[in-house]
Chains A and B, each alone.
Chain A
């Protein structure tokens, strides 16, 4: 247990569906992240929220929409996805400091788009 939980752990959806991934951190951190990990590819940083404000959006298609209602929760809203969006979606959190810090990852949501 890393203190970061993700739900659901597995999700199968059609291309016309709308679904949301949820991430919750119990560590008191103030930065949260979404990563995508496709098969046999490195982790790709998608979005970063620092102090509940989005500070990075790495050219992610608009069919992925993040939401950070507070420092403990992060959502990734999905709509009209493509089969190539099938991947492991990982959430992470960290404590923003001027010193070194560590990201704590959740277990991920395995997404399959049919």
Chain B
């Protein structure tokens, strides 16, 4: 499983765009990139997933350059409720008959201020 590196913490203010970058230099060809969000004392929640280029959903965008050695989670116009830990994970499910093994790192602790 590819190792990921992301900033330990970030600060932002309400209404700003936040970009969290994750490095995954040894990403494998079939690996995909997934971001989870976790609030205190709750389970992680899936945010977005991508393989290459750009993916956008109702809550975030994920930018992946051509070499796929890094990715950037973009949160538009954050609010106080976006204060959480954000995890970048790289990997893929086993072949049919397998399961999706996730290895969580320390994540990025995002604090949004008024």
Contact = CB atoms under 8 A, between A and B. Distances in A.
B34 interface: yes
Contact of B97 (A91, A92, A96, A106): A96
Given A2-B43, A43-B44, A90-B43, A102 B99 contact: no
Interface in A58-102: 88, 90-92, 94, 96-102
The DSSP consensus for interface residues of chain B is loop
A50 B44 CA distance: 20
B101 A48 contact: yes
Interface in B78-114: 92-93, 95-107
Contacts of A108: 41-43
A97 B96 contact: yes
Contacts of B98: 50, 55, 96
A15 interface: no
A22 interface: no
A4 B44 CA distance: 12
B93 A99 contact: yes
Nearest to A48: B99
A104 B16 CA distance: 28
B6 to A, nearest CB: 12
Contacts of A107: 42-43
A50 B99 CA distance: 6
A101 B100 contact: yes
A31 B45 CA distance: 17
26 contacts: A2-B43, A2-B45, A42-B105, A42-B107, A50-B97, A51-B97, A55-B98, A56-B101, A88-B41, A90-B43, A91-B43, A96-B99, A97-B93, A97-B96, A98-B95, A99-B93, A100-B92, A100-B93, A101-B93, A102-B34, A102-B46, A103-B44, A103-B46, A105-B42, A105-B45, A107-B43
Interface of B: 32, 34, 41-46, 49, 51, 92-93, 95-107
Interface of A: 2, 4, 31, 33, 42-43, 45, 48, 50-51, 55-56, 88, 90-92, 94, 96-108, 110
